[in-house]
Chain A
Amino acid sequence: MWPQWMNMLSWWQWAIMAAIPPAIIALYFLKLKRLPLEVPSTYLWQRSIEDLHVNSIWQRLRKSLLLFLQLLIILIAILALLRPGCRGNKLIGERFVFLIDNSASMRATDQDPNRLDEAKRRAVQMIDEMHSGDVGMVVSFADTARVEQMFTDNRRSLCRAVEAIKPSSRSTSLGEALKVASGLANPGRTSYEESDIQTAEALPATVYILSDGRFDDVSNFSWGNLTLIYLPIGQEEAANIAILAFSVRRHETRADKLQAFARIENFGTDDVSLSAVLRLDGEVIDAAKIDIGGGEVEGVTFDLGATDSGKLELSINSHDDLEIDDKAYAAINQPRKAHVLLVTPGNEPLELALATPLANELADIDIQSPDFLNNKQYQTTSQSGGYDLVIFDRCAPKEMPQANTYFIGAIPPGEAWKAAEKVDVPNIIDVDPAHPIMQWIVMDDVLLHEGRPLIPPAGATTLIDTHAGPMLVIAPREGFEDVVQGFMLIENAGEGDEAGIYARTNWPIRPSFPVFVFNLLDYLGGGQRATAAGGVQPGQAVVIDAPASAAKASGKKISVRTPSGKTISLKESRPGRFNFTDTDEQGIYEALYDGKSFLRFAVNLFDSTESHIVPRKAFEAGPTAVEGQSGWKESRKEFWRWLVLAGLVILLFEWYIYNRRVYL
């Protein structure tokens, strides 16, 4: 361990410092004053000196002892000012929070045996260095933070808590962990009418973040009493090749065929050649050789042919430092048609659009008149999740169904949605092509006769905007989505002879309309899920709808089989809906109803932040950047006290010599 130096003085101070030794030497040689002393006779002294002149060099050296000592003191002072220190194990403060990252990237094996174990080892090392009376807390964090051990001075339980931290496959969020830490160090305030008074005494704490820094910067964080010390774990040269995306889609032209797409990124700097192997239900069905340059991304496509269902696994033989992202999974589900209810007093253009073969492939469409809304069957089916999508044409239910909805020329019940007064000929000025519903939709040739600009609830996305206001808006609602259209397609209007069906827009006769209807069915009807369920990331919740066959049955029993074969029973969170959160494991999960698999979904890492495993040198937390400390910079062992002590001892020695004549 070589000392590390810290400069404590500016250049002019150093200049003064550097001038001292020559000054001492100059003073010494100038010998400004020998103290005159009158003695009875120099007779004996002269004779003594004569004897000593023989070995005058030694005498001179001996005489210079004081000079040497003075120079030594100055040297020591200079050394002390350089603040030498070395990687010490001294912890600063009395309260410590050990934030240990156990996200997916911490599984990287660039450190032996892996980063998490290295982080744990260092945490244990630091806990060992705690003084008695110091308290520590252990928090593990990935996408969420978990207090493994509350503040305690029991080092053994702290170490046990550290040892108990298990690697996860989750992404990382430091903000959560910092919130936990700051909640204890910066206790909340209680508001009184006139002033803020702190309810508890703030307790300063030192937070040691043992992580590879692969997380997003935390912006809205105030340090308060916390001192953040970031100890990066991992090697700078860590290389990784990751599958960042893997999905299965229907062939663009041949709908009966499936295609698998994968995106592979090389996070290292070297060019790599590797092979990707695709397995269906464990059988190798395809392989590809991929060359990826350093820092580049490659895409691979596999033609699957006509595959109804199965579990797809793509693996690459990258032999890199992080294994978890070398495999990706995708589930192909039995095509399941969406269950769509159209409630309309009669809407020929819409019914035509829903009757196209493609639309029929996606959904079974049930067309009912508005009276059906009062029917008991509707009420039970809609409230138990029997429909995937309900389209309300110029009518509205009393209660929103447990399904996605599409309102045409009507406003959903309740306070959330509102509409302004009717506007004549609103000009379409914008569409949102980024939204899946509006894909491939061109509205340039569409004219609107009239419409009511919508006032959507918060979180809504405007799909069609007119000069008067939004005319087509999508907004989320408790896990469902509602699309509301402010203009009617057709209207039964007129009186007497003029009574009849009037078109309120020319959209139905434009090519974009059937495409829109198809998108709508595809997006809101759950068509996407039917072919190949897009995966979720580890730790994320999955919403599972009970199969239509189970909708009417009461006491539904839904369970999920994890990739490792464990079966977990689910509880209904809402009629027909189940939430599954135990998605820590990567792989394909199967949702079972009565022991039969009806839905598969894949859990994949697919996180470029996690896969990019080169540890970050610094990150930003709140207003300040937190620099990674190669050692424990803050906990370095300082030598300057010892140097000052040595200087004092030498000073004492010099003083003693000067006074007691104990020269060499």
Chain B
Amino acid sequence: MDLLPPELLARLEKMELISRKIFRGRMKGERRSRRKGQSVEFADFRSYVPGDDLRFIDWNTYARLDKLFLKMFFEEEDLHFYALLDGSLSMDYGDPTKFEYAKQLAAALGFVGLIRGDRVKIETLGQSHKAASPVFRGRHSMWRMIEHIDGFASGEPTTLAEGVKNFCLRNSGKGIVVVMSDLMDKAGFQPALRYLLAQEMDVYVIHILSAEEIDPDIKGDLRLVDCEDQDVAEITVSVPLLSRYQKTLAAFIETARDYCTRRGMVYLLAKNEVPVDELITGYLAKRGLVR
């Protein structure tokens, strides 16, 4: 699959990733940090205190007010952007599959990061805590990144919590992490997200659900087999069951949203039917991940 079609690229070109937290990057990037410093973009004034860099004194103000003020600039810095894909078997459903969808989304967001000079790391849950994954930076890394994403295959046996834990072990730095998963873990998604909280990362949870999960189009007497653990649920499809399912699903989504919101994470429900560019330019922009 072509992860980044040209028209999507054109739209992504103008975007940038935004972090709600101030992160110190190791290298200067094109990112405007909350930390004020040397940059071209004016941020504020403050009174001079001895020891300050004289280069930043606003002499014009001094001339008018006879007081020393220090001009403050936004410091531009690079950003750590992590995309964490759930590569479990359950993601391999839907059209496009949820995993494909997640890959595309990761590629798109990664690209936005690349063009703004951010450090982009794209990983899956199945990666072990020791395995290092490449870091992409700069527009020229786009093809490498896409190649890397293309190399992902679904069917990883890890649980959500395990995968997130490994991720946290691998990446101690702060930054933006976008978790793309269906959160369908019998053990619950909460432990996994708790790990991320501990990292003090700017966490975005993109809850990807396929159309079949949101509105199952099934009928008759069925024996539902869980693709991951072969768990079986025997059902006879009926209106009450379906409405019960809808309620359960709504409750599930609500729980996740509530959990995330309470803990300063951004939750976003993504249906695989909604095109990726629409999701990024629309929903994600609204939620403040991109601008």
Contact = CB atoms under 8 A, between A and B. Distances in A.
A661 B252 contact: no
B224 A37 contact: yes
A48 to B, nearest CB: 4
Interface string A33-48: 1111111111111111
The CB with the most chain B CB atoms within 10 A, among A37, A44, A47, A659, is that of: A44
Contacts of B234: 34
A182 to B, nearest CB: 63
A235 to B, nearest CB: 61
Contact of B224 (A42, A662, A664): A42
B269 to A, nearest CB: 14
B16 interface: no
B27 interface: no
B220 interface: yes
B235 interface: yes
B184 A45 contact: no
Interface string A484-501: 000000000000000000
Contact of A31 (B184, B221, B225): B221
A38 B235 contact: no
A51 B213 CA distance: 18
Interface in A581-602: none
Interface string B214-235: 0000111111111110011111
A51 B226 contact: no
Given A41-B184, A45-B235, A662-B239, A51 B244 contact: yes
Given A35-B223, A663-B240, A40 B93 contact: yes
A661 B185 CA distance: 29
A62 interface: yes
Given A34-B222, A49-B233, A41 B238 contact: no
A662 B242 CA distance: 11
The CB with the most chain A CB atoms within 10 A, among B213, B248, B249, is that of: B248
A48 B248 contact: yes
Interface in A461-483: none
Contacts of A642: none
Contacts of A659: 219
A20 interface: no
Contacts of B244: 48, 51-52
Contacts of A658: 219-220
A653 B245 CA distance: 25
A46 B244 CA distance: 11
Interface string B236-260: 1111111011011100100000000
A63 interface: yes
Given A44-B248, A46-B233, A48-B244, A37 B238 contact: no
B90 interface: yes
B186 A43 contact: yes
B182 interface: yes
Interface in A635-664: 658-664
B216 to A, nearest CB: 8
B185 to A, nearest CB: 8
The CB with the most chain A CB atoms within 10 A, among B182, B224, B245, is that of: B224
Contact of A38 (B98, B220, B227): B227
A42 B184 CA distance: 9
Contact of A42 (B92, B226, B238, B239): B226
Contacts, number: 106
B280 interface: no
For chain A, which range describes its interface: under 10, 10 to 19, 20 to 34, or 35 or more residues?
20 to 34
A37 B237 contact: no
A55 to B, nearest CB: 9
Contacts of A62: 238, 240
A624 interface: no
Interface string B87-114: 0011111000010000000000000000
Nearest to B245: A48
B210 interface: yes
Contact of B231 (A42, A51, A52): A42
Given A40-B90, A52-B241, A35 B222 contact: yes
B226 A37 contact: no
A219 B222 CA distance: 72
A59 interface: yes
Nearest to B219: A661
B240 A52 contact: yes
B231 A46 contact: yes
A37 B225 contact: yes
B218 to A, nearest CB: 7
A40 B209 CA distance: 10
A44 B182 contact: no
Nearest to B210: A40
A33 B225 CA distance: 14
Interface in A42-72: 42-49, 51-52, 59, 62-63
A494 B62 CA distance: 203
Given A44-B248, A48-B244, A63 B233 contact: no
A658 B249 CA distance: 24
The CB with the most chain A CB atoms within 10 A, among B91, B186, B233, is that of: B233
B52 to A, nearest CB: 58
A662 B239 CA distance: 6
Contacts of B90: 40-41
B249 A44 contact: yes
Contact of A45 (B98, B210, B227, B245): B245
Interface in B117-172: none
A41 B182 contact: yes
B219 A43 contact: no
Interface in A1-47: 31, 33-47
Given A36-B225, A41-B226, A658-B220, A49 B235 contact: yes
A45 B240 contact: no
A463 to B, nearest CB: 99
A42 B233 contact: yes
Contacts of B92: 40
Given A39-B227, A41-B182, A48 B252 contact: no
A59 B244 CA distance: 12
Nearest to A60: B236
Contacts of A661: 219, 237-239, 242
Contacts of A33: 221
B257 to A, nearest CB: 16
A187 B245 CA distance: 78
A38 B225 contact: yes
A232 B182 CA distance: 83
B210 to A, nearest CB: 7
A74 B148 CA distance: 63
A36 B219 CA distance: 12
A34 B227 contact: no
Interface string A61-94: 0110000000000000000000000000000000
Contacts of B233: 42, 45-46, 49
B281 to A, nearest CB: 27
A22 B235 CA distance: 24
Nearest to B237: A661
Nearest to B220: A35
Nearest to A65: B238
A191 to B, nearest CB: 73
B213 A37 contact: no
A40 B223 contact: no
Contacts of B227: 38-41
14 contacts: A35-B220, A37-B223, A39-B93, A40-B91, A40-B98, A40-B226, A41-B184, A43-B226, A44-B213, A44-B252, A45-B224, A49-B235, A660-B219, A663-B240
Given A37-B222, A45-B235, 5 more contacts: A34-B223, A40-B98, A41-B186, A44-B249, A658-B220
Shortest 5 CB-CB distances between A and B: which pairs?
A40-B90, A41-B184, A34-B223, A663-B238, A42-B226
